[in-house]
Structure 1
Amino acid sequence: MQRTMNDKALDTSEIKVGYIDLREVVEEKSPGLYDKIPGFVIRYLRKIAHIDDINALMQRANGKVGLEFSTLLMEEFGVSVTTQGLENIPKEGRILFASNHPLGGFDGMALFHAVIPIRQNLIFQVNDFLMYLENMRRYFIPVNKLGSNASNVRRLEMAYRGDDTLLIFPAGLCSRKNKGEICDLEWKKTFVTKAKHAKRDIIPVFISGHNSRRFYRIARWRKFFGIRFNIEMMYLVDEAYRLKDKNIRIIFGKPIPWTVFDNRYRDVEWAQRVKNHVYRLEKNPNAEFSVDKEV
């Protein structure tokens, strides 16, 4: 039997208290940029990214991992999670969850919170900003660095070949607003290709929610002016704090066998069909995946 990457029990005493440094975050994304940013902008970014709040939270969360940590986060941000279709998650077997990405961070923690009681051997592809959460590093692979970090590529390959349960946001980036509709960008084909090679069934997942109009406006301006640095990412923590007293609804659809993904369509076309199916789950949680539905 293949081992999982989480087989080794974690000694929670080894978890270091997280500390997020804004300079490190900016320099990692855009080397040399931090020193060019005016001081008043730095102070604004510290505030909007809730750097002090998050560091205080990590102090309180010292030693907490898995469900204990995600529960603390739900309480800290005042968010409730309701689920539908948990019976569609097999307790055994090699699967991956493919989900839409409406919130850009907290939706991932909500999904983790819903799945971890059923599947403890989770591996999650996340925005590399979340790697600053020391308590969750055993579960995370930074998606933004895969192309430039050979160890992350190997770790992901091992995860697909092993028995870990994978949580994937195939769009990579969180949802954007286009023609008045908030939805994911094109889903990358990788999860379909890897699922076929690793013989993993796919659990389609729909997550409710959206960010503020400010977030989508900033994303649109950044794209218009050709700015490469993902400015809106700095607002994701503030977006999470705006979720207070809100409910995140998560719908788990029926498993899609990996054998479905044959040569009728290219993998990129299969990926969009799964994406469309995920959005159909919002209105019809019991929907069957149909290969005849148009992309």
Structure 2
Amino acid sequence: MNADNSDSKKNIFNLDLKLDNKLMDSVYKSIQPALEKVIGVPGLMDIYNGAVAQNDPDKFSDAILRHMDIKCEISEQDLARIPKNGKIVVVANHPFGGIEGIIMGAILQRVRPDVKIMANYVLSVIPEMRDLFLFVDPFGGPSAARANLATMKSTISWVKDNQMLGVFPSGEVSHLKWGSRKIIDPPWSDTISKIIRKTESQVIPMFFAGNNRMIFQIAGLLHPRLRTALIPRELINKRGSAIEIRVGNVIPWSRLKKIQSEKELTEYLRHRTYMLENRPASEHKPGIVEKIVNCGLEPLIDPVDPELLYNDVEQLPESQLLLSSGEMEVYHAAYKQIPNIMREIGRLREHTFRATDEGTGKPIDIDEFDSYYQHLFVWNKEKNELVGAYRLGRTDNIIKCFGKKGLYTTTLFNIKSSFFDEINPALEMGRSFVRPEYQRSFSPLLMLWRGIGHYVAKYPKYKILFGPVSINKEYQSSSRQLMVTFLKIHNYLPELAAKVKARTPFRSRKIKGWDKKHSKRIISSIDEVSEVVSDLEWDDKGVPILLKQYLKMGGKLLGFNIDPNFSDVLDGLILVDVTKTDPKIMERYMPREKLMKFHELHKSDAYTKDLPKSKPTENLVETE
């Protein structure tokens, strides 16, 4: 419905009242113009008339924003997160009490036309907005209950018909909480959870950055109705402002249905929305502000001649070829066997780590540990080039020759000798990389892990894998904190962790919008954490692949350290007991027969019950 030119001059926001008492009615009419001016009715009418004058009733939200000169700051990445079809519920915080509903409508209608937004019935006075809004009465009473029930039925029908719904579940504007000194939404209504359950809809969280002026917050502390009376003026003063909107990833119904109660589901959605507050503002994203590259970094050494690399590989005994697949081969070797390969490993380590703001800053990443560690590397035999590598430290040999200080891990953590008494013999793993040109495919990383599996099969006494796994500085501090918090709750070994102390401990900080107690109940997997991390990161990255890989193998964390010699990367000390890794996962990396022999050697019956029995074999443990 559109207001014609004459209707647009009518004051649709008037405060007309008809009082039974004639005297009081007369008094009210005499002060009504002044009251409307105080509240801001003339300003609202100016906005309305300016939007109507644009003669664009189908995009009235855009017309209002244009007339008010409001800039909506939303990235193309965030817009792309909004599905163009299918049923979807968009939940958002309610910081301003008015303009965010108009902005939400404009954004969603830019993506698709089938949009409805639940809104306060007082907005029904705007004819041009009636097709966009589904109206509810938050003020209560029998008539309100009947009207809201009808709206609820219409809403559920709308979503079930594979259309989009936008909701501000608080139903009330964000305001200052005296106890917490925070400006935040009041508790969200569980009505949103009922709608989602009845429609089995997926959900998108949307966060509006900012809040109303402090005079608005103080007025609300004096009386809630004062706050309500000031909402029109808060809308008017948004003229000429820029409002940032952040959109999270789609949360599928398959994830939401696992949350038992409506209360917990509502809280989960609220947390997912407010977690978006931790994402950096658009002006701080890499690429928005020019990034200074190679500042303070020494130039890398030149690439090693491919012929020299080929000669190193050709001179290795055939027994050190762990596996081959297509053009890829995986070898293990000692430092002195592959001097040219090692030089190229050092160059490519530094090159790869610098791409993620890590690295030593030196021309080559080679240290004193390399000389006596084993090196596992993937070789492209067609191109005669190195693809990626891992460094393996055999703790029994190293501790025997150099003591525990001979292990790289002890440069990051103070570790009691009793720790090694408990895990020996073990493989310390680290310095892993896949050169950037090969990172578009998962195959090189898979080949590295298959190489590790074959190495453990070749030397099956090493049932324990441990070492630092990195979370680089490219992650927001809130993302790193979130991962650490989750891992300490769900993937920690307190007994062994008591024997480990970080040399530069990671300092925990409170994350905005994150309730640790509540989240412990409803976020139970690293994949769920990865979804939240992806919401916070400007480039959508989730939990590091290598960390997820260790966790899938049953990895447990023992501590967290900041490495000042490696670009302040956050290292988690992780430990994997291969005898406790799900055999179905290990079969991806180790041949089935060798996996059975490995479990038989370690008498891990609990992990071989689903595997067929094999015949006894001799020479299971090979000498070095």
Per the shorter chain, which TM-score range? Answer: 0.7 to 0.9
Report if aligned partners of 2:13, 2:44 keep a CA contact under 8 Å in 1: no
Q: Are 1:74 and 2:74 matched, yes or no?
A: no
Report if aligned partners of 2:88, 2:159 keep a CA contact under 8 Å in 1: no
Q: Which runs of 5+ in 1 are unaligned?
A: 1-9, 224-229
Deviation at 1:48, TM superposition (A): 3.1
Q: 2:145 aligns with which of 144, 147, 154?
A: 147
Deviation at 1:180, TM superposition (A): 1.6
Give the Cα–Cα distance (whole angstroms) in 2 for the partners of residues 239 and 142 of structure 1: 21
Determine the structure 2 residue equivalent to 1:54: 44
Q: 1:106 aligns with which of 85, 95, 99?
A: 99
Moved more, 99-108 or 191-200: 191-200
Give the Cα–Cα distance (whole angstroms) in 2 for the partners of residues 219 and 141 of structure 1: 27
Deviation at 1:276, TM superposition (A): 1.5
Give the Cα–Cα distance (whole angstroms) in 2 for the partners of residues 245 and 158 of structure 1: 38
Determine the structure 2 residue equivalent to 1:158: 157
Give the Cα–Cα distance (whole angstroms) in 2 for the partners of residues 35 and 187 of structure 1: 38
Give the Cα–Cα distance (whole angstroms) in 2 for the partners of residues 99 and 240 of structure 1: 18
Q: 1:128 aligns with which of 112, 118, 121?
A: 121
Determine the structure 2 residue equivalent to 1:64: 56
Deviation at 1:235, TM superposition (A): 1.7
Deviation at 1:155, TM superposition (A): 2.5
Deviation at 1:153, TM superposition (A): 3.7
Structure 2: which amino acid aligns with 1:186?
P
- Please provide the CA RMSD for this pair: 3.2
Give the Cα–Cα distance (whole angstroms) in 1 for the partners of residues 211 and 188 of structure 2: 18
Larger Rg: 2
Determine the structure 1 residue equivalent to 2:214: 213
Return closer, same or farther for 1:15/1:255 CA change in 2, 3 Å cut-off: farther
Return closer, same or farther for 1:100/1:217 CA change in 2, 3 Å cut-off: same
Determine the structure 2 residue equivalent to 1:194: 195
Determine the structure 2 residue equivalent to 1:117: 110
Report if aligned partners of 1:122, 1:166 keep a CA contact under 8 Å in 2: yes
Give the Cα–Cα distance (whole angstroms) in 2 for the partners of residues 214 and 152 of structure 1: 34
Q: TM-score, normalised by structure 1?
A: 0.80
Report if aligned partners of 2:86, 2:163 keep a CA contact under 8 Å in 1: no
Match of 2:223, SS state, is helix
Give the Cα–Cα distance (whole angstroms) in 2 for the partners of residues 130 and 165 of structure 1: 20
Residues 218-240 of structure 1, C-alpha deviations (whole Å, 9 max, x = no match): 222225xxxxxx44323212111
Return closer, same or farther for 1:264/1:236 CA change in 2, 3 Å cut-off: closer
Q: Which runs of 5+ in 2 are unaligned?
A: 139-143, 281-475, 491-515, 519-624
Structure with the larger RCO, 1 or 2 (CA within 8 Å, 6+ apart): 1
Q: Are 1:137 and 2:125 matched, yes or no?
A: no
Q: How does 1:243-282 map to 2 (within 5 A)?
A: 243-262=238-257, 264-282=259-277
Deviation at 1:119, TM superposition (A): 1.7
Return closer, same or farther for 1:59/1:241 CA change in 2, 3 Å cut-off: closer
Aligned identity (percent) is 20
Report if aligned partners of 1:15, 1:135 keep a CA contact under 8 Å in 2: no
Deviation at 1:158, TM superposition (A): 2.4
Match of 1:206, SS state, is strand
Give the Cα–Cα distance (whole angstroms) in 1 for the partners of residues 269 and 20 of structure 2: 37
Determine the structure 2 residue equivalent to 1:227: none
Determine the structure 2 residue equivalent to 1:97: 90
Deviation at 1:21, TM superposition (A): 4.6
Return closer, same or farther for 1:35/1:11 CA change in 2, 3 Å cut-off: closer
Structure 2: which amino acid aligns with 1:174?
V
Structure 1: which amino acid aligns with 2:69?
G
Deviation at 1:13, TM superposition (A): 6.9
Deviation at 1:184, TM superposition (A): 0.6
Give the Cα–Cα distance (whole angstroms) in 2 for the partners of residues 200 and 12 of structure 1: 35
Match of 2:129, SS state, is helix
Structure 2: which amino acid aligns with 1:80?
K
Structure 1: which amino acid aligns with 2:228?
M
Report if aligned partners of 1:49, 1:238 keep a CA contact under 8 Å in 2: yes
Deviation at 1:252, TM superposition (A): 0.7
Report if aligned partners of 2:205, 2:248 keep a CA contact under 8 Å in 1: yes
Give the Cα–Cα distance (whole angstroms) in 2 for the partners of residues 44 and 134 of structure 1: 25
Return closer, same or farther for 1:93/1:14 CA change in 2, 3 Å cut-off: farther
Structure 2: which amino acid aligns with 1:92?
N
Deviation at 1:173, TM superposition (A): 0.4
Return closer, same or farther for 1:44/1:266 CA change in 2, 3 Å cut-off: farther
Give the Cα–Cα distance (whole angstroms) in 2 for the partners of residues 245 and 11 of structure 1: 26
Return closer, same or farther for 1:16/1:155 CA change in 2, 3 Å cut-off: farther
Deviation at 1:47, TM superposition (A): 1.0
Report if aligned partners of 2:47, 2:68 keep a CA contact under 8 Å in 1: no
Moved more, 88-97 or 39-48: 39-48
Give the Cα–Cα distance (whole angstroms) in 1 for the partners of residues 192 and 259 of structure 2: 17
Give the Cα–Cα distance (whole angstroms) in 1 for the partners of residues 32 and 6 of structure 2: 29
Give the Cα–Cα distance (whole angstroms) in 2 for the partners of residues 11 and 242 of structure 1: 26
Give the Cα–Cα distance (whole angstroms) in 2 for the partners of residues 57 and 264 of structure 1: 43
Report if aligned partners of 1:15, 1:134 keep a CA contact under 8 Å in 2: no
Give the Cα–Cα distance (whole angstroms) in 2 for the partners of residues 31 and 75 of structure 1: 42
Return closer, same or farther for 1:93/1:231 CA change in 2, 3 Å cut-off: same
Match of 2:145, SS state, is coil
Deviation at 1:243, TM superposition (A): 1.6
Give the Cα–Cα distance (whole angstroms) in 1 for the partners of residues 259 and 196 of structure 2: 16
Deviation at 1:31, TM superposition (A): 10
Q: TM-score, normalised by structure 2?
A: 0.40
Return closer, same or farther for 1:50/1:92 CA change in 2, 3 Å cut-off: same
Residues 91-130 of structure 1, C-alpha deviations (whole Å, 9 max, x = no match): 1111010000000010111121222110211111112222
